[in-house]
Amino acid sequence: MPTGDSHWRELTRFVLSFWSRSGAMWCCAAVKMSALRRRFGPARCVRRGCCSGSGWDHARGGSVCRSWSRKAPIREIQCVPPGPQLPLPGRISRRPIDAGAARSVIFSRITPVRSKTLDRGSIFILMALALLAICIAGLVAPDAIQEGDAGAIITDREGPVVSLAPCITGTLLAIGAERSIALVSDFCPELEGVSRAGTALAPDLERILRSGSRTLLVRRAAGVPIDELRRVGDPVELSWASADQVADSIRIIGRLVGRESAAMQLATRFEQLAVAQVAADAPRVLLVIGADLEASGGPWVIKPNSMHGAVLKAAGFRNAIENPMAGTPQISFERLLAIDPDIILHLSTGSRPGDLRPVLERYKHLDGLSAVASGAVGEVIGSRILDEGPELLDLVDSIGSEVQRLFAGGARW
């Protein structure tokens, strides 16, 4: 539930937001009125000895001074000295006039001398408006800090959340926060009473808005429409590229849903993946994605610089692919022969073991693979085995168990 400080912060933001909008309208109106007063307000003559610094008017061919309100700025103009038969201002008489009145006719048109600078009131209003905008931007902006390598935004919101990644949904379930889940992405496991919200790359903004949840948990990745998500809520980007980043992101999730203790325990288990050490003579294992080989181009494999690569290391085995990989995780059959792993394990999604005989048949045309010759080709089964959530921790033991089964069956490396 929101704390007392959260209630006061929300109330303060509402009041300041309302005050800033009304204050900005008032300041703009005041600046406009000041400009109008400068343009059309009273004027005084700049000629020495004329009008006595007050207002001016022309009546019956002469200059007569009148008093004006002190609140209105006074324009500086050059008025017409009195003379015989002076025409009205702005009009040129066609009747013959004497030489003395000619000068008055020439200067009968009023030419205001406008000031090129703002008056003090306008400058003060503009400065106050700028200061007000700075203060409002700092107070109304959502609270955010950066924590750890995850680089995720920490918000002070608690309540239902929208999960747009399977690994995030799995984390929420693992720490006992299933009641905090409002929506999940299309690729997340099905939950009773929880609707779908599209995908991270193509979220269903309308459904997210209708859910009433403001906290949107997304995995940091290229192509995620963060600007669009900000239109319907507060997206929290969670880094998920390494074991340390996953641990930091899990702590963030626990803080958002009020399950900090359970999240801390889960994060500690992921941190152990990052510090795992492997013996120099440990068997070289190649993890292949799927129970079938891609006949067109070669197998899809697990990169050493990935979360599943860290799991293999934590299980006590070396990755047959030693160097980090970039791009798609697919290797050719020629490279597979060059790598020649000691053990080949297929990671298959499903609920029960599959038949490896078709896989072994495809390996037969690859002469020289040590794993095939020694019978060290196995399979690890799991419904969410390719997810990068808490399911990875169970995969550590599953890999170890399959390797022991192969060894017990006579496989050697």
Nearest-angstrom CA–CA distance, 44 and 72? 12
Identify whether the C-beta of residue 183 lies closer than 8 Å to the C-beta of residue 207: yes
pLDDT at 156: 53
Domain boundaries, the chain: 1-141, 146-274, 284-408
pLDDT at 350: 76
Superfamily of domain 284-408: Nitrogenase molybdenum iron protein domain (3.40.50.1980)
**How far is the CA of 150 from the CAs of 144, 163, 248, 263, 383, in angstroms?**
14, 17, 6, 15, 27
pLDDT at 67: 43
pLDDT at 360: 80
Q: Same fold for the domain at 146-274 and the one at 284-408? A: yes
Superfamily of domain 146-274: Nitrogenase molybdenum iron protein domain (3.40.50.1980)
Does the pLDDT at position 172 exceed 70?
yes
pLDDT at 57: 43
- Mean pLDDT score, 401-407: 93
Report which of residues 271 and 126 the model is more confident about: 271
- Mean pLDDT score, 227-255: 95
Model confidence over 154-167: pLDDT tens digits? 445 567 999 999 99
Q: Of 101-105, 190-194, 205-209, 244-248, give the lowest mean pLDDT range.
A: 101-105
pLDDT at 55: 43
Model confidence over 362-371: pLDDT tens digits? 787 788 899 9
Of 327, 141, 155, 139, nearest to 237 by C-alpha is: 155
Model confidence over 253-309: pLDDT tens digits? 999 999 999 999 999 999 998 888 899 999 999 999 987 776 567 899 999 999 999
Does the pLDDT at position 315 exceed 90?
yes
pLDDT at 105: 43
Model confidence over 17-45: pLDDT tens digits? 555 556 656 656 665 566 555 555 554 55
- Mean pLDDT score, 318-337: 92
**Token code pair at residue 130:** 């700028």
Nearest-angstrom CA–CA distance, 138 and 165? 31
Nearest-angstrom CA–CA distance, 55 and 79? 11
**How far is the CA of 143 from the CAs of 137, 140, 224, 235, in angstroms?**
12, 9, 22, 13
Count of C-beta atoms within a 10 Å radius of residue 360: 12
Identify whether the C-beta of residue 179 lies closer than 8 Å to the C-beta of residue 159: no
Q: Which of 56-65, 109-118, 322-331 has the highest mean pLDDT?
A: 322-331
